């Protein structure tokens, strides 16, 4: 039976550690909040006095911490775990931190002779409780397979994103999109409500179109990702319609800043000569602007 050291048992980490214990692994936990660790005794999780104490004799050391400073302190600070891990152990960082920090921490951990993967999570606290997280993993194929049995106790969707650091990068990209969409969603509902529409009715309508269904499950796989930019809905028309929305926002004295940024992206695509192509061709203009071939 593998022994798992879990460092950082907050809102997400606590149910994740609990699910590992319920999966039959011996779990020892450490957190600066001792009460958070004590609450896990009911599922058989042992409390450690420090990160170093937790790591001694562990087959896997997992960190789920708020930021890179916390991860670095837990690993390399006084009573850090790095110097106390067995060389045949594996370190899994499930924190959401800057990819550059994932790289530097991973490289430094590798100097201790341990296997390293980054495995940040997607979805929410309720999914952590249910053991149904989406987990994005960066590491070698061998390390991914080694980590997968432990990760599968916490999530139902385990995706190998590439080499070490790829999981961290995928998490940042995913959050970039979801957080930006959250802003646009709020602007859309405010525009609806201030126009005299019921927000719930607006939500129902948008769930029946790409607005609520998302481009990744509809337009992108059917058009631009297939190399097809023949107009289903032209960029020129999208630009016109976004202009109408911005005009309505001005009339109602609403700051639609996310919409304004999107309008600039459509301006760029039209400048590139893509006005009569499918609206998903905006992706090709964005790629070109980023220097991608």
Active site residues: 171
CA angle 179, 183, 189 (to 5 degrees): 135
CA separation, residue 141 to residues 7, 34, 161 (Å): 25, 36, 10
- How are beta strands 26-30 and 46-47 bridged, if at all? parallel
Burial class for 290, CB neighbours closer than 10 Å (0-12, 13-18, 19+): exposed
d(CA 138, CA 49): 30
Burial class for 19, CB neighbours closer than 10 Å (0-12, 13-18, 19+): buried
What letters, b where the CB count within 10 A reaches 16 and e where it falls short, cover 221-252? eebbeeeebebeebbbebbeebeebbeebeee
CB–CB of 277/229 below 8 Å?
Answer: yes
Q: How far is CA 94 from the centre of its chain?
A: 10
């Amino acid at each position: 039976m593998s022994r798992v050291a879990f460092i950082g048992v907050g809102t997400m980490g606590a149910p994740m550690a609990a699910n590992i214990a319920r999966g039959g692994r011996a779990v020892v936990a450490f957190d600066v909040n001792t009460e958070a660790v004590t609450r896990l005794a009911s599922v058989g999780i042992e409390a450690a006095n420090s990160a170093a104490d937790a790591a001694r004799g562990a087959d896997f050391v997992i960190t789920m911490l708020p930021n890179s400073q916390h991860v670095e302190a837990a690993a390399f600070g006084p009573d850090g775990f790095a110097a106390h891990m067995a060389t045949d152990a594996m370190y899994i960082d499930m924190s959401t931190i800057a990819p550059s920090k994932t790289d530097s921490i991973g490289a430094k951990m590798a100097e201790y002779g341990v296997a390293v993967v980054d495995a940040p999570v997607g979805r929410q606290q309720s999914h952590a409780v249910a053991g149904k997280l989406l987990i994005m993993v960066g590491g070698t194929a061998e390390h991914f397979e080694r980590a997968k049995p432990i990760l599968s106790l916490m999530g139902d969707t385990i995706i190998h994103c590439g080499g070490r650091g790829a999981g961290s990068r995928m998490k940042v990209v995913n959050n970039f999109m979801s957080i930006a969409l959250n802003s646009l969603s709020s602007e859309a509902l405010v525009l609806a409500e201030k126009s005299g529409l019921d927000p719930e009715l607006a939500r129902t309508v948008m769930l029946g179109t790409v607005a609520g269904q998302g481009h990744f499950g509809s337009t992108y796989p059917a058009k631009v990702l297939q190399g097809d930019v023949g107009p289903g809905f032209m960029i020129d028309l999208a630009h016109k319609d976004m202009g109408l929305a911005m005009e309505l926002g001005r009339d109602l004295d609403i700051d639609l800043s996310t919409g304004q940024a999107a309008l600039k992206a459509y301006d760029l695509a039209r400048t590139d000569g893509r006005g009569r192509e499918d609206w998903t061709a905006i992706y090709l203009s964005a790629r070109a602007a980023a220097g991608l071939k």
